[in-house]
Homo-oligomer: A and B are copies of this chain.
Amino acid sequence: MANSKQSAAPSPRVRVKRLHERGHYDAETIHGILDAMPICSVGYVFNGQPYVTPTLQWREGNHMYWHGSSASRMLETVDEADVCVTVALIDGFVMARSAFHHSANYRSVMALGRARKVKDRAKKEARLKTFVDTLFPGRWDMLRPMNAQEFKATTVLSLPLSEASAKIRTGGPKDDEEDYALPIWAGVIPVTMQVGTPIDDPRNLAGVLPPDHVKTLRLG
């Protein structure tokens, strides 16, 4: 990332302290990581105990969203509560000449703030449509429409991205200068997320083929 893109940390709480040169605070970088990786971890406090729930997130503008059953403990607990949501992607293992300098290449985002339920029915529908169509463009309108009972059973949470930071490592190992003389293999082992060939449901009707949006999914 160009330094010119880096703005200041929006708060001391999300400022990247360890290895601060890996920190980024601009919306383009933060949005790019959220858009590349739907799995997130929602951290919250319940009876004084920290909990982390893995779930899927999506982004619309400068908010991130996640959803689940209206009966979920996590979703009830985090409404109007302080949360920490992180997204992390591993891009490679960085192999150095000493154990100490081994590392990983990664892209991560941490967002802090108060989560809130999307209560308005039209807004909830719009957010869920974005969730489906972000991953699978055009799919929402191909589906059997969502009914009132399903809307009621589904809770959508929102979090503004006003207090967020990204942390990124790229590139090869950085060894101690004297270790470069050692005959030890060093380098990077890349890691990517791979989308496989779609598997038809055995109950698909004859002649129903996978739409384009099933074949174009990319992650990472």
Contacts and interface: CB of A to CB of B under 8 A. Distances in A.
Interface in A34-84: 38-39, 41-45, 48-54, 56, 68-69, 71-73, 82-84
A160 interface: no
Interface stretch (A1-9, A24-32, A207-215): A207-215
A110 interface: yes
A128 interface: yes
Contacts of A203: 175, 180, 186
A126 interface: no
A214 B185 contact: yes
A210 B112 CA distance: 41
B84 A52 contact: yes
B184 A142 contact: yes
A22 to B, nearest CB: 13
Interface in A138-195: 139-140, 142-146, 150, 153-154, 172-173, 175-176, 179-195
A87 B72 CA distance: 19
Contact of A17 (B50, B73, B204): B73
Given A185-B210, A219-B191, A95 B136 contact: yes
22 contacts: A49-B82, A49-B84, A49-B112, A51-B84, A54-B108, A92-B196, A99-B146, A100-B146, A102-B132, A144-B176, A172-B202, A173-B201, A183-B207, A185-B200, A185-B204, A186-B203, A186-B204, A187-B198, A187-B200, A187-B204, A190-B196, A192-B193
Interface of A: 13, 17-18, 38-39, 41-45, 48-54, 56, 68-69, 71-73, 82-86, 88, 90, 92-93, 95-100, 102, 104, 106, 108, 110, 112, 128, 132, 135-136, 139-140, 142-146, 150, 153-154, 172-173, 175-176, 179-205, 207-211, 214, 217, 219
Closest 10 CB pairs of A and B: A54-B88, A190-B196, A43-B52, A41-B41, A186-B201, A43-B50, A194-B194, A100-B150, A98-B144, A43-B43
